[in-house]
Chains A and B, each alone.
Chain A
Amino acid sequence: MSVAIQTRELGKSYTLGVKGAGYGTLREAIVEKTQRPFRREGRKKKSDRDTLWALKDLSLTIRSGEVVGLIGHNGAGKSTLLKILSRITEPSTGYADVTGRVGSLLEVGTGFHPELTGRENIFLNGAILGMRRAEIRTRFDEIVEFAEMERFLDTPVKRYSSGMSVRLAFAVAAHLEPEILLVDEVLAVGDASFQRKSLGKMNEVAKEGRTVVFVSHNLAIIQALCSRGILLERGEVQADAPIVEAIDSYLRTLERAASDDLLERTDRDSRAYDETLVRRLEIQDASGGHPNVVVAGRPATIAVDVTEPLPTMECQLTIVNSLGQPVCTFDSEMNAPVDVRESEPGTRLECHVESLPLLPGRYRIDVIVKAKRHIQDGLQAAALFDVEPGTVGDRPMAAEAEGDVVLPHSWRLPA
């Protein structure tokens, strides 16, 4: 079988303070340039310390027709690898050999212009994704049909609902016919029926035997689509195995990460201001007992401890199932009369749930702490917890129940 992608000792480094802070000012550059002759050594030391390797010594071989899922924490290097493979950015060391036409599925709407009509945007977006004009013309009707928007073709995209833009964008992308398809977290949008359709299309693409490299936090999708999984951690390959095994290793690293001191985690939200950090996160069943073990249907409290008592902190907690699919979100900014705001600043935020309606299984909690209108800290899998079987509304739960939640309910049945 021929090789589609081969990398040898591929590495990418960023200078810290450049990637995050974005751009400098001309003044800084001029000052730097003029001072450089007088502190050559000082600079060298600085550059050693401030270099971040987003990818390190990556040697991979991906054969034609393989469908590979890239998994790992935030900042593990998944997106950096895709960026190198799609030529957006150059590697700093090593090389990647790519054989065949590469196409990227983009975040929805990238490359759409709001002033242009649906029709014009199909051509623009197709060209952006690397399609020939003639190719777009032959597939035009198919694209329009897939997006279900014949009637709005000559309406500017700015008048589309977000759902319509998503459909159109995906429809264009789905009709791309590259030999190698790179997909970075794009299926997380759109309504349920469209998501199903998109997944079906992705599956079709995979079945056609195209090479696909897929990044998603949704492990269920990854597991469904991919045959091989590559787990990246801090820019290095941690596991390269059949997808189920790779996901298992990933879940184990999550567990390890959650049991660590959270302050030592480096995979924090890149948007965060870091004025206060999440030190500890725990879910506790009202009956006491072990932290991070709760009984379904019983009251539970999620406690978040942060390092600094900033004024008016807000908190967003997301419970995510073991396949990486979000189950529900608690957001303190959507406040209600039952909420209590203490009069003194403090470092503990608590979220109380009257009855935890989760099916037995393992879940994780992602957390975002905000203050001063900025995200201060964000961590995925800040805690993992197990839900033990219980009763919801005095009703036991079926052992083979599907889904993640169980809701209190009642029946009226004939005799």
Chain B
Amino acid sequence: METLAPEERNPVTPAPGSETLRLEPTRGFSRVLAPRELWRYRDLAGQIALRDITVRYRQTALGGAWAVLQPIGFMVVFSLIFGNVAGLSSNGLPYPLFSLAALVPWTFFSTALLLGSDSLVSNSALVSKIYFPRIFMPAGVIVAGFVDLAISFVILMIIVFAWGFVPSVAILTVPLLVAIAAAAALGTTAALSAINVRYRDVRYVVPFAIQMWLFVTPVVYPSSQIDEPWRTLSAINPMVGVVEGFRWATLGTGNAPWDLIGISAVAAVAFLLAGLAYFDRTERAFADFV
């Protein structure tokens, strides 16, 4: 092979209008919340989400069954322990249905937290070798979680009908509730995954924190058991509105918990903005640490 003489070569000059990108030290906000940047990498975002979905079902022996087994398993255990032994109130609903309607969105949320908080670290090979908006990593996990959620939601509806319940038009609020849960999950995992890059303690804290979070969310008990003003205040935990909303929307009984849903929606947006803001500020250093 010969060294190429410059005159043999016809330089490929950048297409007219291709922009010059200035790479320089930055401070403050700029990246994650830049829609143009996200749009430019949309194909990669799609591929990452697709990968997360495919891998989740291919790597496991039971595949999609896990989406169902986990909430159903918890439903059985919770019904035996909290429903029968402890005799917790379920607002007059059959305890299994009462808990399953809450467990479906809760499982979506907790799985997103568990997998999402580790997403940057477990993809460190990519993060340290290639540029892309890093938010795709936690976001991809959440998008993949929608598939699990859809499967378990179908199972929930089958059980609801089998039990003789008929959902009201309230079921149309489910997309809104899912959006609240997803916003809260994305904000939280964005922050957790960013902290995890610097401090691997996160890996040990998250499973524990999820357990705690389960008990401050009305999954095994109804929020009506809590005295005011604490009941209303508790909705700053976005999952309170989601879980109570899910019960009302899928079982077609009880009063609309709009107060809880409203507060939780605002809280979820706050979680989302705070999480993205923290992610944005720390993103530029990820590759130096991961």
A interface list, Cβ under 8 A from B: 1-2, 4, 14, 18-19, 22-27, 29, 63-67, 83-101, 104, 106-107, 110-111, 113, 115-116, 120, 123-124, 127-133, 156, 179, 199, 203, 206-211, 223-227, 243-244
Q: Determine if B11 and A99 form an interchain contact, defined as CB atoms under 8 angstroms apart.
A: no
Q: How far is the CA of A94 from the CA of B189 in the complex (A)?
A: 33
* Partner among B25, B59, B129, B195 whose Cβ is within 8 Å of the Cβ of A107: B129
Residues of A within 8 Å of B26, CB to CB, are 90
CB distance from A102 to the nearest CB of B (A): 8
Q: Determine if B23 and A227 form an interchain contact, defined as CB atoms under 8 angstroms apart.
A: no
Give B267-290 interface residues, CB cut-off 8 Å to A.
284-285, 287-289
Q: Determine if A91 and B125 form an interchain contact, defined as CB atoms under 8 angstroms apart.
A: no
Residues of A within 8 Å of B46, CB to CB, are 127, 133
Complex: chain B residue closest to A126, CB-CB: B47
Residues of A within 8 Å of B231, CB to CB, are none
Q: Determine if B44 and A97 form an interchain contact, defined as CB atoms under 8 angstroms apart.
A: no
CB distance from B48 to the nearest CB of A (A): 8
Q: Determine if B14 and A99 form an interchain contact, defined as CB atoms under 8 angstroms apart.
A: yes
Q: Determine if A98 and B284 form an interchain contact, defined as CB atoms under 8 angstroms apart.
A: no
Decide: A106 near B44, CB < 8 A? Known: A84-B23, A98-B20: no
13 pairs across A/B with beta carbons < 8 Å? A2-B13, A18-B288, A84-B23, A86-B130, A97-B22, A98-B20, A98-B23, A110-B125, A110-B126, A127-B43, A127-B48, A207-B9, A209-B12
Complex: chain A residue closest to B56, CB-CB: A115
CB distance from A28 to the nearest CB of B (A): 8
Q: Determine if B284 and A179 form an interchain contact, defined as CB atoms under 8 angstroms apart.
A: no
For the complex of A and B, 9 pairs with smallest distance between CB atoms:
A65-B11, A100-B14, A87-B131, A95-B24, A127-B47, A26-B201, A224-B1, A26-B199, A99-B20
Residues of A within 8 Å of B199, CB to CB, are 23-26, 29
* Partner among B14, B43, B200 whose Cβ is within 8 Å of the Cβ of A23: B200
Q: Determine if A89 and B125 form an interchain contact, defined as CB atoms under 8 angstroms apart.
A: no
Decide: A128 near B288, CB < 8 A? Known: A91-B25, A95-B23, A207-B9: no
Give B10-69 interface residues, CB cut-off 8 Å to A.
10-15, 18-26, 43-44, 46-48, 50-51, 54-55, 58-59
Q: How far is the CA of A225 from the CA of B198 in the complex (A)?
A: 39
* Partner among A22, A101, A110, A210 whose Cβ is within 8 Å of the Cβ of B289: A22
Does any Cβ of A come within 8 Å of B211's Cβ? no
Residues of B within 8 Å of A91, CB to CB, are 23-25
Residues of B within 8 Å of A87, CB to CB, are 21, 23, 131
* Partner among B9, B23, B54 whose Cβ is within 8 Å of the Cβ of A90: B23
Complex: chain A residue closest to B26, CB-CB: A90
Complex: chain A residue closest to B1, CB-CB: A224
Q: Determine if B54 and A115 form an interchain contact, defined as CB atoms under 8 angstroms apart.
A: yes
* Partner among B44, B195, B202, B285 whose Cβ is within 8 Å of the Cβ of A128: B44
CB distance from B99 to the nearest CB of A (A): 33
CB distance from B229 to the nearest CB of A (A): 33
B interface list, Cβ under 8 A from A: 1-6, 8-15, 18-26, 43-44, 46-48, 50-51, 54-55, 58-59, 125-126, 128-132, 195, 197-202, 284-285, 287-289
Candidate in A26, A29, A96, A106 with the most chain B CB atoms within 10 angstroms: A26
Candidate in B10, B132, B202, B288 with the most chain A CB atoms within 10 angstroms: B288
Residues of A within 8 Å of B9, CB to CB, are 65, 206-209
Decide: A99 near B55, CB < 8 A? Known: A23-B200, A88-B130: no
CB distance from B26 to the nearest CB of A (A): 6
Residues of A within 8 Å of B289, CB to CB, are 18, 22-23
Complex: chain A residue closest to B205, CB-CB: A26
Q: Determine if A29 and B12 form an interchain contact, defined as CB atoms under 8 angstroms apart.
A: no
CB distance from A203 to the nearest CB of B (A): 6
CB distance from A211 to the nearest CB of B (A): 8
Q: How far is the CA of A85 from the CA of B21 in the complex (A)?
A: 10
Residues of A within 8 Å of B18, CB to CB, are 99-101, 179
Residues of B within 8 Å of A22, CB to CB, are 289
Q: Determine if A95 and B59 form an interchain contact, defined as CB atoms under 8 angstroms apart.
A: no
Decide: A92 near B22, CB < 8 A? Known: A110-B125, A127-B44: no
Q: How far is the CA of A23 from the CA of B198 in the complex (A)?
A: 5
Q: Determine if B51 and A106 form an interchain contact, defined as CB atoms under 8 angstroms apart.
A: no
Q: What would 7 more interface pairs be, CB under 8 Å, given A18-B288, A66-B11, A111-B130?
A: A85-B23, A89-B284, A115-B59, A130-B44, A131-B43, A206-B4, A224-B1
Q: How far is the CA of A89 from the CA of B197 in the complex (A)?
A: 14
CB distance from B36 to the nearest CB of A (A): 15
Decide: A29 near B198, CB < 8 A? Known: A63-B11, A91-B24, A100-B18: yes
Q: Determine if B131 and A86 form an interchain contact, defined as CB atoms under 8 angstroms apart.
A: yes
CB distance from A52 to the nearest CB of B (A): 12
Complex: chain A residue closest to B5, CB-CB: A227
CB distance from B67 to the nearest CB of A (A): 18
Residues of A within 8 Å of B13, CB to CB, are 1-2, 64-65, 179
CB distance from B246 to the nearest CB of A (A): 32
* Partner among B2, B21, B51, B198 whose Cβ is within 8 Å of the Cβ of A24: B198
Q: Determine if A14 and B288 form an interchain contact, defined as CB atoms under 8 angstroms apart.
A: yes
